[in-house]
Amino acid sequence: MSTFLRLNAVALLFALMTGIPALSELNFYRILRLTEWEPGTLVTAGFIFNSVWIGGLSVIGYRLLRRWFGLKPVRFAAALLWIPYYFLLLRAFGALFPLADAGDLPNPASGLILLFGISVTPFWIVFLCAVGGTSADREGDR
């Protein structure tokens, strides 16, 4: 049971790693309207935030995978288990914060960007799982 809960916790972390930048992409015009920033400023701030967010959660996920799973092959299940949490996150956000202004609809090109992100994420997670498993046997990591 402990492995099951830990695996789901890591999968949720990876869903947040991908979901929060996706939500910031989908809500670009809403954030722009609420903050009253220039579009260039919001793009720069979003890029910096998303880079730090993905990098930070990648490091946390790597450390958790290394500490909790070590060389167990079950760690690779996180490469697929994040997907249901990702869609639950998007649906929950959409239900809690519905669009009130038609001008807040995302740009049609946002879907292509999200599809690219969703298709790259499993490979990034598999990479983190593979690297996290190879360094699990070191003495000072625990």
The pLDDT tens digits for 46-84 are 999 999 999 999 999 999 999 998 888 888 998 899 999
How confident is the model over 83-118, as pLDDT tens digits?
999 999 999 998 998 888 888 888 888 889 899 988
97 phi and psi angles, rounded to 5 deg: -130, 75
98 three-class SS? coil
Res. 136: pLDDT tops 70: no
Res. 134: pLDDT tops 80: no
Reported pTM: 0.85
Q: What is the pLDDT of residue 88?
A: 96
For the chain, give every domain's residue range. 2-141
Rounded CA gap, 9 and 4, in Å? 9
Q: What is the pLDDT of residue 137?
A: 53
How confident is the model over 11-29, as pLDDT tens digits?
999 999 999 999 999 999 9
Q: What is the pLDDT of residue 101?
A: 82
Q: What is the pLDDT of residue 4?
A: 92
Buried/exposed code over 89-125 (b: 16+ C-beta within 10 A; e: otherwise): bbeebeeeeeeeeeebebeeebeeebeebeeebbebb
Res. 45: pLDDT tops 80: yes
